[in-house]
């Protein structure tokens, strides 16, 4: 479907896949496939190696991200683990400083147990990144925008550094999704998604995706994917396909809501800092003091205090104790992830209701502050 636009490709995933002309992708639960003779196969043998429902998802994400081949994994973390099976003990990787906490935790395991080494870049000056390259460096791992400080990185510039030094450029595209950013078009070699978030979009399935755009890498990923079995089940693959069909529409509403909420928060005196790149549905903001975090979170009625993002329901997260709890506090504070920072994943509710909810929570907070004075 190379000639269609993203919205069309997303909507049409799986349509007409089977000979009956089913409009909706069929779910193949069968783990084994009959052979007509030795060495004869219709393309599927055993479900870990390949499953027709999973294949629909894998082909679709490869097409939409503009890469060679897709791999559907049991979670975003297993997608990252799959990519890191490309590296060996002694290899060095440069990664974004402001990173999903679970990714940082996995990198710590890879460092301590598998002897990979990591350097972290603050995402500001590309020259600083170039200076971190050493003979052992094999890859650059970027999240853009960063999480939760929402700092955008110029992927074309980073890809230039990667190419000059023969490094792989790996991009976690969970926050912007291919509707807003296609890293391979900017020179990335591998794109990773936690499909649990925007791609599936309904807070009901854990899934990860990898898209590779380099033949040698693709072959190795295919081998590891099957050998390790970090694969996504057929029903979960179907849930992600179902979510993807409305991704473009949802992203529009997420972004509209986030822009309106960011404008509102900018004018709110109890907010000391708003971090929103102007794009996408994620934003972070800081209250005047960490003491205000708990009363504020418990005052919210519509927006749910929970640890995830990218679903239709608005969720608010406290990175210091939730998503980023595995990053040592001193390190977090040093790079600007304070104990008063909240991260909001704006859902697709009506923006007036979301802003009203924030307003009443700030009013309660104000009364609480006044009572203590
Ligand atoms: C959630 C998340 C992950 C991990 O994905 P899971 O599906 O939870 O395993 C990785 N990267 C980012 C940016 C995330 O938000």
pLDDT of residue 335: 87
Which numbered atom of ligand 1 lies nearest the CA of 78?
Answer: 9
What's the rounded mean pLDDT across residues 358-369?
Answer: 92
Over 60: is that where the pLDDT of 1 sits?
no
Q: What are the tens digits of pLDDT across the range 146-195? A: 989 999 999 999 999 999 999 999 999 999 999 999 999 999 999 999 99
What's the rounded mean pLDDT across residues 105-114?
Answer: 97
Which numbered atom of ligand 1 lies nearest the CA of 195?
Answer: 7
Ligand 1 pocket, 323 CB below 6 A?
A: no
| CB distance 257 to 348 below 8 Å | yes
Q: What is the pTM of this model?
A: 0.96
Token couple for 159: 């890809």
Residue percentage of the chain with pLDDT more than 70: 99
Residue 194 Cα to ligand 1 middle (Å) = 4
Over 80: is that where the pLDDT of 273 sits?
yes
Average pLDDT, the chain: 96
> What is the secondary structure of 104-135 as a DSSP string?
HHHHHHHHHHH--EEEEE-SS-HHHHHHT--T
Which residues, other chains included, contact 347 with Cβ-Cβ below 8 Å and sequence gap of 6+? Answer: 254, 257, 311, 312, 313, 314, 315, 354
Q: How confident is the model at residue 288 (pLDDT cuts 50, 70, 90)?
A: very high
Q: How confident is the model at residue 308 (pLDDT cuts 50, 70, 90)?
A: very high
Distance CA 43, CA 116 (A): 37
Distance CA 279, CA 294 (A): 28
Which numbered atom of ligand 1 lies nearest the CA of 308?
Answer: 1
- Which residues are paired to 342 by β-bridges? 285
Nearest CA to ligand 1 atom 1: 194
Ligand 1 pocket, 173 CB below 6 A?
A: no
Ligand 1 pocket, 102 CB below 6 A?
A: yes
Nearest CA to ligand 1 atom 7: 76
Which numbered atom of ligand 1 lies nearest the CA of 206?
Answer: 7
pLDDT of residue 327: 87
Q: What fold, for 6-244?
A: 3.40.640
Helix (H) or strand (E) segment spanning residue 47: none
Distance CA 285, CA 276 (A): 8
- In the chain, where are the structural domains located? 6-244, 248-371
- Which residues are paired to 211 by β-bridges? 70, 191
Residue percentage of the chain with pLDDT more than 90: 92
Residue 77 Cα to ligand 1 middle (Å) = 6
Distance CA 364, CA 156 (A): 45
Token couple for 197: 């978030």
Nearest to 144 by CA among 109, 114, 182: 182
> What is the greatest pairwise CA distance in the chain?
83
Q: How confident is the model at residue 70 (pLDDT cuts 50, 70, 90)?
A: very high
Which numbered atom of ligand 1 lies nearest the CA of 99?
Answer: 13
What CATH class is the domain 248-371?
alpha beta
Residue 328 Cα to ligand 1 middle (Å) = 19
pLDDT of residue 2: 58
Ligand 1 pocket, 100 CB below 6 A?
A: yes
pLDDT of residue 323: 85
Ligand 1 pocket, 194 CB below 6 A?
A: yes
Residue 146 Cα to ligand 1 middle (Å) = 12
Ligand 1 pocket, 106 CB below 6 A?
A: no
pLDDT of residue 373: 63
Q: Which of 35-44, 147-156, 230-239, 364-373 has the highest mean pLDDT?
A: 230-239
What's the rounded mean pLDDT across residues 320-326?
Answer: 89
Which residues, other chains included, contact 227 with Cβ-Cβ below 8 Å and sequence gap of 6+? Answer: none
Residue 120 Cα to ligand 1 middle (Å) = 19
Instruction: Report the catalytic residues.
Output: 48, 100, 172, 197
Q: How far is CA 264 from CA 50, 289, 311, 347, in A?
A: 48, 19, 22, 16
SS3 203: coil
Backbone angles phi, psi at 87, to 5 degrees: -105, 160
Over 90: is that where the pLDDT of 301 sits?
yes
> Position of tokens 């009901």?
204
Least reliable range by pLDDT among 19-23, 27-31, 238-242: 19-23
């Amino acid at each position: 479907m190379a000639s269609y636009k993203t919205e069309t490709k997303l909507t049409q995933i799986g349509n007409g896949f089977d000979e009956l002309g089913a409009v909706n992708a069929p779910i193949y639960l069968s783990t084994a496939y009959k052979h007509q003779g030795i060495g004869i196969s219709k393309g599927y043998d055993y479900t870990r190696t390949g499953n027709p429902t999973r294949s629909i998802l894998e082909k679709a994400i490869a097409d939409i991200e503009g890469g060679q081949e897709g791999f559907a994994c049991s979670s975003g973390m297993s997608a990252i683990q799959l990519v890191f099976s490309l590296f060996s003990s002694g290899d060095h990787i440069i990664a974004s400083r402001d990173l999903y906490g679970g990714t940082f935790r996995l990198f710590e395991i890879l460092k301590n147990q598998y002897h990979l080494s990591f350097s972290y870049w603050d995402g500001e000056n590309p020259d600083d990144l170039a200076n971190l390259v050493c003979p052992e460096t094999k890859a650059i791992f970027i999240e853009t925008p960063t999480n939760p400080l929402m700092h955008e990185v110029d992927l074309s510039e980073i890809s230039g550094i990667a190419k000059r030094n023969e490094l792989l450029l790996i991009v976690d595209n969970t926050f912007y999704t291919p509707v807003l950013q296609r890293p391979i078009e900017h020179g990335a070699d591998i794109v990773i998604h936690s499909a649990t978030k925007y791609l599936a979009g309904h807070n009901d399935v854990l899934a990860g995706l990898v898209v590779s755009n380099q033949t040698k890498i693709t072959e190795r990923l295919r081998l590891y994917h099957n050998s390790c079995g970090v694969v996504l089940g057929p029903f979960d693959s179907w849930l992600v396909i179902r979510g993807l069909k409305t991704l473009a529409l949802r992203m529009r509403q997420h972004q509209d809501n986030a822009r309106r909420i960011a404008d509102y928060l900018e004018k709110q005196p109890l907010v000391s800092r708003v971090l929103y790149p102007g794009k996408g549905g994620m934003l972070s903001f800081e209250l005047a003091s960490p003491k205000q975090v708990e009363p504020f979170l418990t005052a919210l009625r519509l927006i749910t205090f929970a640890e995830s993002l990218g679903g239709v329901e608005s969720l608010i997260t406290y990175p210091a104790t939730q998503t980023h709890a595995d990053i040592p506090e001193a390190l977090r504070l040093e790079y600007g992830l304070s104990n008063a920072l909240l991260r909001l994943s704006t859902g697709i509710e009506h923006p007036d209701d979301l802003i009203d909810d924030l307003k009443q929570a700030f009013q309660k907070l104000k009364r609480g502050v006044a009572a203590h004075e």
